[in-house]
Amino acid sequence: MIKKINKDSCCNQIENLDIKNKHREHKNCSSSGGGIYFFGLIGAAVYFIQQATSFWPGVIGLLKAFVWPAFLIYGLLNFLKI
C-alpha cells in the first residue's frame, strides 16, 4: 500500500531526522519548476538575441531573457483585459 505524503508534512519531518537518514526518508519534496524556467531562459535568450541588430540590443535581449515570465504574464493579462 502506498502512503500519500503531502509536501508540507514531508519537508517538516525531514528537519527532525539525522543527517545520515535524510536520503532514506526525504522523497518528492522538490519541484521541477527550475528546469522549466531554465529551458525557458535558454529559449528566450536565443529568441531575443536573434532579434538583435547590434551588440547593445543583444545585451538587452539577454537581460529580457531572465525576466521572460514577467513578459508572459503581462501579455496574458493584457490579452484578457484584466
24 & 50 share domain? no
pLDDT per residue over 59-77, tens digit each? 999 999 999 888 889 999 9
16 & 45 share domain? no
74 & 37 share domain? yes
Structural domain boundaries, residue 49: 33-80
Domain count, the chain: 2
Q: Give the three cell numbers for residue 36.
A: 522549466
Q: What's the pLDDT score for residue 63?
A: 93
41 & 75 share domain? yes
Decide: pTM greater than 0.85. no
19 & 45 share domain? no
Q: What percent of the chain has pLDDT above 70?
A: 62
3-state secondary structure of 59: helix
Of residues 58 and 4, the one with the higher pLDDT is: 58
DSSP 8-state code for residue 32: S
Average pLDDT value for the chain: 77
Nearest to 40 by CA among 66, 78, 59: 66
26 & 40 share domain? no
